[in-house]
Amino acid sequence: MRFRSRLAGLLLAGFLSPLIALASSHREAPAISFDPAADNTDLWAWIKPGTHDRLYIVAAYNPLEEPSGGPNFNKFSDDVLYEVHVVRGVSSLADVITYQIRFRTEPLTRVDVADLAKGPGGGKEFFAQLSGSVGFQKQTYTVTKVQGNQSTVIAQDVPVAPPNPGPRTFATLKALGFVNTPQTAYNDDFTQEFVRPMGNGGSEGTVFAGPRDDGFYVDLGGIFDLANLRAKGTAQDGVAGFNCHAIALDIPVTKVTADGQLPTTRTNDSIIGVWASASRRKISIQRQKGGADAIGPWVQVSRLGLPLINEAVIGLQDKDKYNRTTPATDVANFGAYFLNPIVVRDAEAVGVYAALGVDPTPFKSNRTDILDIIGLKQNGYTVTAVGDVLRVDLTTDSGFPNGRVIHGGTNHEDDVTDILLSVLLTGAPSGISDGVDHNDAVYIDRSPWLAKPWSGFDQGHGKPTP
């Protein structure tokens, strides 16, 4: 009754003609918006094959950055706390080490527009790459290592690698003296100028932060059309040609073990877990009496451990809660999603199981096998603290779900989409594929591992016009 009588009411009130002519003003701020700078898109963590003495972590933010997205190219946010969390042992999800990364952008300087004697630079510029002290506004960052009650700054005023608008920008910034490099293009050696030591003489490893190729590959169109998977050849890499913003850490494994030694045998403590997050400040809305504006503590707004959990496991109604909580409470909060994966029911509804001739019943509920797999039971661990962290066995070469590896020098990472879809839908680590099995760029063989950012000039998603 309500709906139809309202329709009638609208018409009787002459509402339909104003539909065309005069809208009703709405003064509400948007309720729905996205926060790319504080959006974890991917996380890789693995140990160096063979020697097992380095822990590599790559945390990516800012999904699907368009390379040609000027004039204001994407960047890390100065208002966001970026964190990489390391937990240790089979029975704890508490951070043993947290790497906190905070960014700072130099302010624009005001320049008299009418003063023709002024050279390039400053706030008068339209092109962002001419507006700051390194061409771009210089953005630097600090890495603080939090261990127990102790916070130590292990890297300070580290420059963020610049965006890659194209060859003319690179050449111009060099010619104008904004960029001091022997390189003639935005290449892998240029990238290395932004890989900097952490701790005295690099005792804590190295760090890099800046734009890179988004190293994930997946048929986004297929997966999000309700797992409408396509064969290799017809499947489309929905991430191809996009950039992201990455923080890459290269850490001596001895820095994350309890005794400071490399583990040689499997113990309850030779397994770690890694997750990454982004937080923004809580603020007080009531005016503070007499005092400065209260800027409150950090509130986590995004996190990521295992790939695709937020995207393909947690339901819409719980995504906000997922993003503001920590892995330690995952079982209590979201256990039902892991034990009864929605994607199985969706796949059944669209006929995936019927086409395979498989009975989906065993995969719909009580999926403790999923918890076993992400807890590395297959590696001999009995994890009692279950949560969305990327587990890494420090005693053996990594390979998803034991860590997640970027295979430098190739166009392969662990194909986490195929593995996770297979595990969720069939309980086995393989058998289902999204038809996209390699990246569109070749990963580099050292930090930051992800390939250089696509160039805005000739590698954006625009198309030539006739």
Partner 1 sequence: MRPLHAASMSLLLLLGAACRSSTSPASTPTTSEAQALALTPPVGDGAVDREILRLQEGLRRSPTADDWVLLGQAWIRKGRQGGDAGLYLSAEGASIAALKVRPGHRGALALGAMVLLNQHRFEAAREQALAILAQDPDHVPALTVLSDAALEMGDVAAALDATQRLVDLKPGLASYGRAAHLRWIQGDVSGAKQLYARAIDAGRGGRDPEPVAWMLVQAGLIFWNEGDLDGALAGAQRALALLPRHAPALVLEARCRLARGEDAKALHLLEQAEAIQPLVETGWLLADARRRLGDGPGADRTEARLLRQGRQSDPLMVGLYLASRGGEAAGALRLLEPEHRARPGLLVEDAYAWALYRAGMLAEARAAIDRATAHGTPDPRLLYHAGAIRLAQGDASAGKALIQRALDLNPEFDPVASSEARALLGSRDRRARQGSGARASEGRSTRSVSAISPAGR
Residues 46-105 that bind partner 1 (CB under 8 A): 62, 64-65, 69, 71-72, 74, 77-79
For residue 252, state whether it binds partner 1 (rule: CB under 8 A). no
Q: Is 151 helix (H, G, I), strand (E, B) or coil?
A: strand
Shortest spacing between CB 193 and partner 1, in angstroms? 25
Q: Which two tokens stand for residue 4?
A: 């139809």
Which residues have CB under 8 Å from 227's CB, separation 6+? 343, 346, 347, 350, 352, 421
Q: Which two tokens stand for residue 225?
A: 């059309």
Shortest spacing between CB 44 and partner 1, in angstroms? 22
d(CA 420, CA 440): 21
Beta strands (DSSP E) in 122-182 are 139-147, 150-159
Of 102, 104, 266, 280, the one binding partner 1 by CB under 8 A: 280
For residue 28, state whether it binds partner 1 (rule: CB under 8 A). yes
Q: Is 429 helix (H, G, I), strand (E, B) or coil?
A: coil
Phi and psi angles of residue 122, each rounded to the nearest 5 degrees, phi first: 85, -175
Residue with tokens 């969720």: 424
Q: Is 259 exposed, middle or buried (0-12, 13-18, 19+ CB in 10 A)?
A: exposed
User: For partner 1, which is the closer residue by CB, 176 or 349?
Assistant: 349
Shortest spacing between CB 279 and partner 1, in angstroms? 8
For residue 33, state whether it binds partner 1 (rule: CB under 8 A). yes
Shortest spacing between CB 233 and partner 1, in angstroms? 22
Residue with tokens 């890499």: 237
For residue 29, state whether it binds partner 1 (rule: CB under 8 A). yes
Of 114, 116, 175, 316, the one binding partner 1 by CB under 8 A: 316
Considering only residues 283 to 312 of the shown chain, the ones binding partner 1 according to CB under 8 A are 283-287, 293, 299, 301
Query: Residues 333-372: x/- map of binding to partner 1 (CB under 8 A)?
Result: -------------x--xx----------------------
d(CA 313, CA 336): 10
Q: Is 144 exposed, middle or buried (0-12, 13-18, 19+ CB in 10 A)?
A: middle
205 pairs with which residues across the strands? Answer: 198
Shortest spacing between CB 12 and partner 1, in angstroms? 10
By 3-state DSSP, what share of the chain in percent is helix, strand and coil, each rounded to 5? 25, 25, 50
Shortest spacing between CB 260 and partner 1, in angstroms? 37
Q: In this structure, what DSSP letter does residue 291 have?
A: S
The stretch near partner 1 (CB under 8 A) out of 22-30, 152-160, 354-362, 377-385 is: 22-30
Shortest spacing between CB 209 and partner 1, in angstroms? 16
Considering only residues 163 to 192 of the shown chain, the ones binding partner 1 according to CB under 8 A are none
Of 112, 320, 359, 445, the one binding partner 1 by CB under 8 A: 320
In angstroms and rounded to an integer, the radius of gyration of the C-alpha atoms of the chain is 25
User: For partner 1, which is the closer residue by CB, 75 or 391?
Assistant: 75
Shortest spacing between CB 82 and partner 1, in angstroms? 14
Query: Residues 220-239: x/- map of binding to partner 1 (CB under 8 A)?
Result: -x--xxx-x-----------
